[in-house]
Amino acid sequence: MTNLVEFDENTKTFHLHNDLISYIFQVEEGGLLSHLYFGKRVKQYHGLMKYQRADRGFSGNLPGSLDRTFSPDTLLQEYSSSGIDDYRTPAVIVRQADGSYSSRFQFDSYEIQAGKPMLDGLPSAFTENDSEAQTLIVTLRDEVTQMKLDLLYTIYEDRALVTRSVKVENQSDNEVFLKKIASMQIDFPNQKFDVINLPGAHASERQMERSRLNRGLRSFESRRGSTSHQMNNFIALTSPDATEDQGDVYGFSLIYSGNFKFEVERDPIQQTRVVAGINDYNFSWKLKAHETFQTPEAVMVYSPTGLNGMSQTFHHLIKERIVRSRFQNMDRPILVNNWEATFMDFTEDQLKPIVDDAKKLGIEMFVLDDGWFGHRDDDNSSLGDWYVDKRKFPDGLRHFVDYVHDQGLKFGLWFEPEMISFDSDLYREHPDYLMQVPNRAPSPSRNEYLLDLTREDVRENIINQVEKVLRENAVDYVKWDMNRHLSDIYSQALPADQQGEVYHRYVLGLYAMLEKLTADFPDILFEGCSGGGGRFDMGITYYMPQTWTSDNTDAVARQRIQYATSLVYPPSVMTAHVSVAPNQQTGRITSLETRATCAMSAIFGYELDLTQMSAEEQAEVKKQVEWYKSVRHLIQFGDFYRLTSPFEDNGCAWMFVSPDQNEVVVDTFQTMSSAQPLSTITKLVNLDPNKQYQDLETKKIYGGDELMYMGFFNPLYHHDYASKKYHFKALNRH
Ligand code: DGJ
């Protein structure tokens, strides 16, 4: 295998590269690491980006030096320390035993390893064999405090990305406290950037925003203990002219499911720093003498071909090296979920007709959502009591599961394992399991409370209960929900000076549970959920190959949510369902066709009472199911490209193309109709210009070049919320 990482002893320069990208940094004066370049592959670095020296007032110099032209405050750094002479936001802050917050990490040594190490207790991108990647570990040390940092960089041979994380070791004999420890930092020289981020709210996740980056510090973060609906753990920096298909784009994301912070600082001389990792909000980690701490992993993507190029790199990484379940490449079943059909008001006898209709219509799995356990008739009780409610299933859950299986359907079950209700046997027996601050009443949210997942005994109790249900009931699929964010942060199991660890320890506890459960039940398909897409991140995706994208099932709102979610996540990890009209979240009335066109562009299902549909509607559902099955593999595992943005236009378009460019599905949507409609065009991308493609509906034939360069007119609709899907196949395949 060729070298992916090189170190030039003369210039003290590290160069990570493959055919697509180069990532270059250097050991500078004072042992500081200076970032030089991240972008398109350059064969060799000859020193053009060396730090430009200047005597700048109020930017201090290295101790003991009379040279006023070198300042850590203006150096483009690779991983910055705090409390001395770089006034920009730092990557690491350590409170020393003597109370000082200052450190200066300097280059010590490096090592290059084949492959990529897994991170203890944390999800990360993996390799299938050691020859596909190389890892550079650069060791920095602070001589005064005896702290050691290992900066881990992995480059794959064929991906336009670098993964990074940091391991800290306290080599002193004193106890110290980590106050901030980022997973990555990158400093860019003066250039114009736009920043794209994904803010949102419950039922309105990942609404894409883009703005010009000006001087000052901006942060994009979650303080909710979870990735959150309110801000996804991703940002992109783009050249101002970047579009979906051209321009420079840098994408940054974390393989993590807890509090995070992305800081973007444009400094006084218009250089840009990005620092990302665990949020330092109320964070404090005690590191005793000789202990270590490992940060979550960050993924840094570079694309010279716009946002679609960035998304392709994220999508392939997620599909191939983040989703590790045996379902990684398996077509996912079409399901019907009873949540929006019955909510918690059901019995076995009322559910059976839905199962019967599902079978008749070709649906492949029935998912029993919230309300099957304890005595849960509404959301005020029973979380923590994971045993079946005999009022709803008088002959036990297995009796119903057998019925579902006998109809040839798989069976899925909902859990919310991280929470507890006051009205539960679990709380009556173990009131101390609840996360709460001494002498302070905990805050309810959806009238539920958090279990203290930092505690092993709490985790064990829940896992034992859940595993018993799974074992006894031959469950094929689990929906793991989380319907509130963290509050009242405190663990009775930790001393006062470790309460700043609770947020992160909660996430580590969650990962430990998921590790155990997915190892014990490798044949169960897991779906992550948090009141919809409140915990849509690569950490969850590592354990659970699909995630419920949003509680908002309205087809128009979903176009935006799915479009922006796809910046990072491929359709194969997003789930989408057809529900009733008027929509329960927005009141909007859309056609069954449009609802299905939108839902069929991800992992597909229904979330309504099939028995309430008319014969005509059921016939339409049957056709949708048949159609989806015929294109499912392409939708779930083909390459996905965004074409027209619902954030900018009166509609939306996207497409799926097979890796051999022989099969294409295109979905187009128009939001509002008009008395004077504009003629709009959809142009496809990434086809073979030399192939002929046949539209399977009209049987007409078009060149790949025509479909890409000329495009086609969208229909002129005389109604709102219209949609159309196209299916093309290449004739001259090779
Ligand atoms: C929130 C989820 O997103 C819904 O799909 C449903 O499972 C409810 N929770 C049940 O409480």
Question: In the 3-class helix/strand/coil scheme, how is 78-91 assigned residue by residue?
Answer: CCCCCCCCCCCCCC
Report the candidate in 80, 53, 77 with the shortest Cα–Cα distance to residue 65: 53
Q: Is 599 left (phi over 0), alpha (psi -120 to 50) or beta?
A: alpha
Residue entry with tokens 């690779």: 78
The predicted structure's pLDDT at residue 661:
98
How far is the C-alpha of 177 from the C-alpha of 168, rounded, in Å? 11
Work out the burial of residue 75: count CB atoms within 10 Å of its CB; fewer than 13 is exposed, 13-18 middle, 19 or more buried.
buried
734 pLDDT above the threshold of 70: no
Overall average pLDDT of the 448-459 stretch = 98
In this structure, what are the phi and psi dihedrals at residue 616, rounded to the nearest 5 degrees? -65, -45
Report which protein residue has its CA nearest ligand 1's atom 9. 531
Which atom of ligand 1 approaches the CA of 551 most closely? Answer: 3
Distance 481 CA to ligand 1 centre (A): 7
Query: CB count, 10 Å around CB of 244?
Result: 19
Which atom of ligand 1 approaches the CA of 369 most closely? Answer: 7
Report which protein residue has its CA nearest ligand 1's atom 2. 531
Overall average pLDDT of the 648-653 stretch = 97
Distance 710 CA to ligand 1 centre (A): 44
User: What is the Cα Rg of the chain in Å?
Assistant: 27
Distance 343 CA to ligand 1 centre (A): 9
Residues whose CB is less than 8 angstroms from the CB of residue 450 and which lie 6 or more positions away in sequence, other chains included = 418, 419, 420, 434, 435, 442, 484, 486, 487, 488, 506
| 206, 450, 457 from 432: Cα distances, Å | 36, 11, 11
Report the candidate in 373, 368, 397 with the shortest Cα–Cα distance to residue 383: 373
Which atom of ligand 1 approaches the CA of 529 most closely? Answer: 3
C-beta 531 within 6 A of ligand 1: yes
Query: Residues 123-153: pLDDT tens digits?
Result: 999 999 999 999 999 999 999 999 999 999 9
| 332, 411, 654 from 335: Cα distances, Å | 9, 9, 23
How far is the C-alpha of 182 from the C-alpha of 252, rounded, in Å? 13
C-beta 383 within 6 A of ligand 1: no
Residue entry with tokens 């770089």: 86
Overall average pLDDT of the 655-673 stretch = 98
Query: Residues 410-449: pLDDT tens digits?
Result: 999 999 999 999 999 999 999 999 999 999 999 999 999 9
pLDDT band with cut points at 50, 70 and 90 for residue 325: confident
2 pLDDT above the threshold of 90: no
C-beta 548 within 6 A of ligand 1: yes
Distance 88 CA to ligand 1 centre (A): 42
Query: Residues 192-224: pLDDT tens digits?
Result: 999 999 999 999 999 999 999 999 999 999 999
Residue to probe by mutation, ligand 1, list 370, 383, 480, most atoms within 8 Å of CB: 370
C-beta 370 within 6 A of ligand 1: yes
Q: Is 215 helix (H, G, I), strand (E, B) or coil?
A: coil
How far is the C-alpha of 583 from the C-alpha of 553, rounded, in Å? 7
Overall average pLDDT of the 45-55 stretch = 95
Tokens in use for 641? 């490209």
DSSP category for residue 128: S
CB 408 within 8 A of CB 429: no
CA dihedral of residues 614, 619, 622, 623 (deg, nearest 10) = -140
The predicted structure's pLDDT at residue 732:
74
Which atom of ligand 1 approaches the CA of 530 most closely? Answer: 3
Query: CB count, 10 Å around CB of 428?
Result: 11
Q: Is 632 helix (H, G, I), strand (E, B) or coil?
A: helix
C-beta 529 within 6 A of ligand 1: yes
Report which protein residue has its CA nearest ligand 1's atom 11. 370
Overall average pLDDT of the 640-657 stretch = 98
Distance 532 CA to ligand 1 centre (A): 7
Distance 450 CA to ligand 1 centre (A): 17
Distance 344 CA to ligand 1 centre (A): 11
The predicted structure's pLDDT at residue 432:
97
Report which protein residue has its CA nearest ligand 1's atom 4. 531
1 pLDDT above the threshold of 70: no
CB 40 within 8 A of CB 160: no
Tokens in use for 680? 């709009």
C-beta 481 within 6 A of ligand 1: yes
559 pLDDT above the threshold of 70: yes
Overall average pLDDT of the 325-338 stretch = 96
C-beta 547 within 6 A of ligand 1: no
Query: Residues 60-108: pLDDT tens digits?
Result: 999 999 999 999 999 999 999 999 999 999 999 999 999 999 999 999 9
How far is the C-alpha of 136 from the C-alpha of 112, rounded, in Å? 5
Residues whose CB is less than 8 angstroms from the CB of residue 630 and which lie 6 or more positions away in sequence, other chains included = none
Half-sphere exposure of 146 (CA within 13 A, CB side): 13
Report which protein residue has its CA nearest ligand 1's atom 10. 370
CA dihedral of residues 405, 410, 415, 417 (deg, nearest 10) = 100
Report the candidate in 454, 479, 416, 508 with the shortest Cα–Cα distance to residue 123: 508
C-beta 369 within 6 A of ligand 1: yes
Report the candidate in 187, 178, 7, 170 with the shortest Cα–Cα distance to residue 92: 178
In this structure, what are the phi and psi dihedrals at residue 509, rounded to the nearest 5 degrees? -65, -45
The predicted structure's pLDDT at residue 204:
98
Residue to probe by mutation, ligand 1, list 414, 577, 603, 607, most atoms within 8 Å of CB: 414
H or E element, residue 503: helix 502-520
Which atom of ligand 1 approaches the CA of 479 most closely? Answer: 7
pTM as predicted: 0.98
Number of residues assigned to the chain: 734
Residue to probe by mutation, ligand 1, list 373, 376, 479, 529, most atoms within 8 Å of CB: 529
Mean pLDDT taken over the chain: 97
Name residue 437's amino acid.
V
CB 615 within 8 A of CB 621: no
Q: Which residues are catalytic?
A: 481, 551
C-beta 605 within 6 A of ligand 1: no
How large a percentage of the chain has pLDDT more than 90? 99
